[in-house]
Amino acid sequence: MAENYNAQLEEACAKFRKILEDQLVRVEDMKAQGDFVDYATLDTLRIGVCGGDGIGPIISAEARRVLEFMLSDMVESGKVEFVDITVLPSKTESQWARLSPMMLWQS
């Protein structure tokens, strides 16, 4: 029985490794573009929250609640601000895939 758990664990680790490797490639691709914002240098980091549709508003509200708790010191000091995004600009799916958070905020 332990062998079965070990095989399942190895399979799960391999899948998680693939996810992490893909994300690291994505990060390096973004760095290579050179047009990203260094958020650490901003006076205030504005985090836009968009609920979406269906179950999205419920999930977004809970995610915001967790972030507000985790970042409470930064919110209180004014370093982080949460903003509700109620209307999104019209974009095609491929255009959304290329948007950075800053571009969405400025839209």
Given this model, what pLDDT does residue 107 score?
41
Residue 29 sits in the same domain as residue 66? no
Residue 54 sits in the same domain as residue 73? yes
Neighbouring-strand partners of residue 45: 80
Q: How many domains does one find in the chain? A: 2
Q: How far apart are CA 7 and CA 103, in angstroms?
A: 44
Residue 18 sits in the same domain as residue 46? no
Residues 6+ away with beta carbon under 8 Å from 81: 44, 45, 46, 47, 75
What's the domain range around 19? 1-36
Residue 32 sits in the same domain as residue 74? no
Residue 92 sits in the same domain as residue 55? yes
53, amino acid identity: D
Residue 30 sits in the same domain as residue 66? no
Residue 45 sits in the same domain as residue 79? yes
Residue 50 sits in the same domain as residue 16? no
Nearest to 87 by CA among 34, 51, 40, 39: 51
Tens digits of residue pLDDT in 56-103: 888 989 999 999 999 999 999 999 999 888 776 665 555 555 555 544
Across 22-26, 45-49, 53-57, 95-99, the highest mean pLDDT is recorded for 22-26
44, amino acid identity: T
Across 20-34, 40-54, 85-99, the highest mean pLDDT is recorded for 20-34
Residue 31 sits in the same domain as residue 54? no
pTM over 0.85, yes/no: no
Residue 58 sits in the same domain as residue 106? yes
